Structures are given as structure tokens and as C-alpha cells.
Amino acid sequence: MQWLSAENLIAVATAVLGIAASGVMLWFERRVPRRKRIGYRVQMDNPIGDDARSGRLNRRLGLFDEAPDMTDATLVLLRVENDGSQAIDRDDYTGPELHGLTAVFTDRVIRGVSVTQASTTAHLTDHFTAARGFGYEGNTLRIPRVPLNQRDHFKLLVLLSGGSVGGEIRLTGGLRDGEVHPNRSATPDDTPPLFGRAARLVTVLLTVCVVTLATLVVARDGTRPPIGCASGRLTLIGSTAFAPVLREAAERYERDCADAEAEIEVDAHGSTSGVRELAAAGEKAADGAPPVVAFSDGAKPNGLPELRESRVAVSVFALVVNDGVRLPRGGLATADVQRLYRGEITDWRELGGPGLPVRLVSRDADSGTRQVFQRRVLGRGEIANSSLDCVHKDDPAADVVRCELDSTDQVLSAVADIPGAIGYSELNLAGRAKGVRSLDLDGHPPSVDALERGTNDYPYREIEYAYTYGRPPADSLASSFLTYLTRGNGQNITRTHGHVPCYTPESLTLCAT
């Protein structure tokens, strides 16, 4: 029978393995954070006293035998390591105390501590001072806020008395966007494996099935036409914040649908101007809808009933400041942001920051990013423009310097170059920009993952809409590209650029609201 062909059997096996592997990876992703992590493991817990209660007698000589409280003494070697995917700064520790981590040795008393580290990280020792919280009392050891690059580690050799070998040892503390967790016991400098034997076996089997299936398909017929592709020309206009997604999606569509000879141009100049340009093109079109799709950060203005909308993604935006602006809590309250953009705060010292004048770097009036900021955060419009170069006041009566720029890239560049500057940007672009830092709002970090999981109520976000003039024909390039973007391979592109695709089970509710 035809359905029992080699291709179909391999396809079914690949699908089953794919589902299983997806489940395993989903579990792994849920259980293992992808960002900041501090792991710890006990590499040695040995008696150096007589330890008669544990039945692990040993021979002692000298101070081990003669010093007070050494009859039940133990030595513990505790390794603390950054086993996450990002570096950890001192500000990433979230505890209210001066120190960053706390080690508790249940039912034992600390008698002394020695700090060791790898030869390549000798600078870490400078952080272990009493002024930075390093110390111990009873069974509790206070560990300072030590910055750790990826795979950096340090070790604590702790002398204890009382209790017994193998007693519970806990390391606690908080990390922004991360966790502190125990690792398995290992030899002193062994690196924990990222994937176990079962995960590697599934990966190998899945790879073999996919390669075999691809070989059979190519060998039998390499000229199958693309499915769902359309030919013609299409122009994508509107949001500059969403433009990187559109450029990559357009390139991928043209490559995937090479036989269809599609030409897609991205010409983004702002959400409002894009929507109005689409409406004007539709009115001038002699027959049918023009080959134009406008993308907007938020819903279209009123009075344009001919424009038909599609919800594409949830975009997350961020307030960004010059890297020299360091605030006590790493963010601002919404009320403080509103005061900044009313011109009521003129120096960062008023918010606990450095002695620098506030300079507001904004987008032009056509910007969807600006409109979302005004609607979601300020609750009103911004104050009047007072500067052309974002540094000097052209209006001497203005309380603060405020300038307007044409694109998100220009805003990020200006904020990075100007001391005391603050602006706003699409989150993914802000994360890649140098010289700027993103701010939390009301204690909520700008996080796409947290929004999608429903664990974050970060306010500066908006639905990304696609607008066409009326309903495009089903066989048109506009209809085909929108389907590709919202329900096809374009979903992966949208996600890699830091947006949440609307047509996934996790985000349907988020996009609906």
C-alpha cells in the first residue's frame, strides 16, 4: 500500500520522535532557566575529628587532636559557580542585605573559612571583605555579591564543629531573572553535563530520521512547487520597531518561494504615517486593494473603516538610559517616569542617581513606539520639543532638554552618546545596543518570556497590527505573506526578534487583551 512507503514510515517515526523530543525540551526549558544561574555543590564533607558518632574514625596528629572543639570537627569544600548563559553583576543579587548569598550548615557551627578560586579568576578574592558582608555567625555563612562571568567559580573551605558528616547544607539568595540551585556532586573541577545520555540518544535518532527522510524526498522528486506561495510585488510600511522582523521575514519568504518570483520591499517610516499612507493608496487604487500592508504598534486611528486588521504579535518596549545613569533599584516607578516626562525632574540626583541633567530623547509624532509609551505609561502626551541636538536648549524657558528623532536606532545612538539621556525603544533592539541599559517599571523587568508565562504585569507593551485596505484576495501576495508571517515560518522569526507571536496557544489570550 502507498501509505506504507518508506518515506511515510520515516515521516511518522520522525513526527513521533519530534513530539517526544519537544516534550523533553519543553520540560527542560521550564525546569532550567535560560538566563542567570548560580549553582553550588559540596565537593568534600569529611571528618577531621574522631567523629565516633558517624562510625568514620580517623587518625589525627598535632592541632587536629589538641585544639579545642576539634574532636567532632569536619571540613567542607563548597563550590559556587555561574553555570547559566549570562554574566552575573553585583546588581543582579536581589536580597535586601549587604551580602548576596547565605550558606547554612544545619546543626553545625562554623569555626573558620578559607576562600579559594581558579588561577584565572584571582580577582574574585577582592570581593570577600567584611565591608561587603563577608562573615559568619553560628551555622550561617554570609557570602558577598561576587560578580561572576559565565563559568566563573570560587570555592569555600569551611571548618565546622558539631553535627555530623553529610548534614544538610543549603545556599540561598535571589537573582534578577534567575535562580540559585544545587548541582549534583562531582569531582572537584568537573563540569556538570548539559544533557544526559537519554537526551543525546533522542537527538541522534531524530537527526538520523530527518536526514534519511530528506535524502529520500530529494532523491525521488526535487522539483515540487512551493505550497501557498504567491507571485507579484508587495510593499511593507509602518512601524520602525517591527521593521527588523519584516525584513528577515521578507527575505525568507522570497527564498522559500523562489519559484513564485515574489518581490517584497520594506519601507518603514512610523506606524501612524504607514497607516495613513495605506489609506491614501487605497483611495487612489482603481481596482481592488493596493499591494501594501501597513504595520502599526497599536490600533489604527479612528475614521479609517476601510482598513482591515490582523493581530500579528505582542511587542515589548523598554525605557533606556545612558549607561552612566545608575539608579538604586535598577528601575523606576511609573509615577517617576510621568514626572520626568512632565519636566518636573531635571537632575538624576532627585531619583537617587548621579549628578547629571535629565535629557529626554523621544520619537517623532508618527512613531507607534511613542504613542504606546504615551498611552500605556504616561497617560498623556509628552511635553514640547526644546532641542534639535538633544544636548542644548533651543527654548531657554524649557525645564528640561527634549528632542525628537526619526527612528529607534537614532534614539538608541543618542541615548548611548549623551550623559544623562533617557529614551525608549523596542526591547530586542535595546538589548543589543551598547552604551544603554533597560529599566524596570514598577518592579517588573521588560521580559517577553515572563509576559508569555503570565508572571509579569509589565505595562510598556502593545499588540502589533497588520492593516490591509479591505480584504486582499486569497491568492494575492499580501494574503500569502500575512499567513506566512502569522501562522507559518514567520512565527519563529517574530519570536527570535523578541516579540510574542499571536497565533500560539500561550499567546492567544495575551493578544486578545
Which tens digits make up the pLDDT trace of 365-381? 888 889 999 999 999 99
Q: Which cell numbers in the block locate residue 227? A: 505550497
Report the range of poorest mean pLDDT among 6-20, 74-88, 250-264.
6-20
**What is the model's pLDDT at position 496?**
87
Higher pLDDT, 213 or 187: 213
Map residue 75 onto helix, strand or coil: strand
pLDDT digits (tens, 9 = 90+) for 440-449: 999 999 988 8
Stretch 37-64: mean pLDDT, rounded? 71
User: What does DSSP assign to residue 270?
Assistant: -
Cβ within 8 Å of residue 496, ≥6 positions away: none
Q: How many CA atoms does the CB half-sphere of 358 hold within 13 Å?
A: 25
Query: Taking a C-beta distance cutoff of 8 angstroms, is the pair 393, 401 a contact?
Result: yes
**What is the model's pLDDT at position 214?**
64
Q: Exposure pattern of 22-49 as b/e (b: 16+ CB <10 Å)?
A: eeeeeeeeeeebebbbbbbbbbebebbb
Q: Which cell numbers in the block locate residue 231? A: 507571485
Beta strands, E only, 393-478: 401-405, 421-426, 436-438, 440-441, 461-469
Closest CA to 497 of 242, 318, 254, 168: 242
Average pLDDT, the chain: 84
Cβ within 8 Å of residue 354, ≥6 positions away: 324, 325, 326, 348, 420
Number of neighbouring beta carbons within 10 Å of residue 177: 17
Q: Exposure pattern of 146-176 as b/e (b: 16+ CB <10 Å)?
A: bbbeeebbbbbebbbbbbebebebebebebe
pLDDT > 80? residue 22: no
Q: Which cell numbers in the block locate residue 74? A: 569536619
Cβ within 8 Å of residue 311, ≥6 positions away: 463, 464, 465, 502, 511
**What is the model's pLDDT at position 399?**
92
Residue keyed to cell 520602525: 240
The number of residues making up the chain comes to 513
pLDDT band at 477 (very low <50, low <70, confident <90, very high): very high
C-alpha to C-alpha distances, 49 to 44, 65, 476, nearest whole angstrom:
15, 7, 82
Measured distance CA(444)–CA(461) in Å, rounded? 12
pLDDT band at 226 (very low <50, low <70, confident <90, very high): very low
pLDDT digits (tens, 9 = 90+) for 227-253: 578 999 999 999 988 999 999 999 999
Higher pLDDT, 208 or 264: 264
Measured distance CA(36)–CA(58) in Å, rounded? 41
**What is the model's pLDDT at position 125?**
86
**What is the model's pLDDT at position 150?**
87
pLDDT > 70? residue 170: yes
Q: Which cell numbers in the block locate residue 63? A: 592541632
C-alpha to C-alpha distances, 434 to 137, 429, 469, 474, nearest whole angstrom:
42, 10, 39, 43
pLDDT band at 9 (very low <50, low <70, confident <90, very high): low
Query: Taking a C-beta distance cutoff of 8 angstroms, is the pair 48, 72 a contact?
Result: no
Q: Which cell numbers in the block locate residue 400? A: 528640561
pLDDT band at 224 (very low <50, low <70, confident <90, very high): very low
**What is the model's pLDDT at position 451?**
82
The 3-state secondary structure of 118-160, one letter per residue: CHHHHHHHHHCCHHHCCEEECCEEEECCCCECCCCEEEEEEEE
Stretch 28-54: mean pLDDT, rounded? 72
Measured distance CA(119)–CA(371) in Å, rounded? 52
**What is the model's pLDDT at position 330?**
84
- DSSP run (H or E) holding 487: helix 477-487
pLDDT digits (tens, 9 = 90+) for 399-409: 999 999 988 99
Residue keyed to cell 513521533: 16
pLDDT band at 482 (very low <50, low <70, confident <90, very high): very high
What's the gap between Cα 290 and its chain centre?
37
Q: Which residues pair with 238 in a beta bridge?
A: 268, 295
Beta strands, E only, 298-449: 307-322, 331-332, 359-363, 401-405, 421-426, 436-438, 440-441
pLDDT > 80? residue 181: yes
Q: Does the predicted model carry a pTM greater than 0.75?
A: no
pLDDT > 90? residue 199: no
Map residue 483 onto helix, strand or coil: helix
**What is the model's pLDDT at position 447?**
87
Sheet holding 101-105, edge to edge: 135-137, 140-143, 101-105, 169-172
Q: What angle in degrees, to the nearest 10, is found between the helix axes of 477-487 and 243-256?
A: 110
Stretch 498-508: mean pLDDT, rounded? 83
pLDDT band at 2 (very low <50, low <70, confident <90, very high): very low
pLDDT digits (tens, 9 = 90+) for 76-98: 999 999 988 789 999 999 988 99
Measured distance CA(90)–CA(81) in Å, rounded? 14
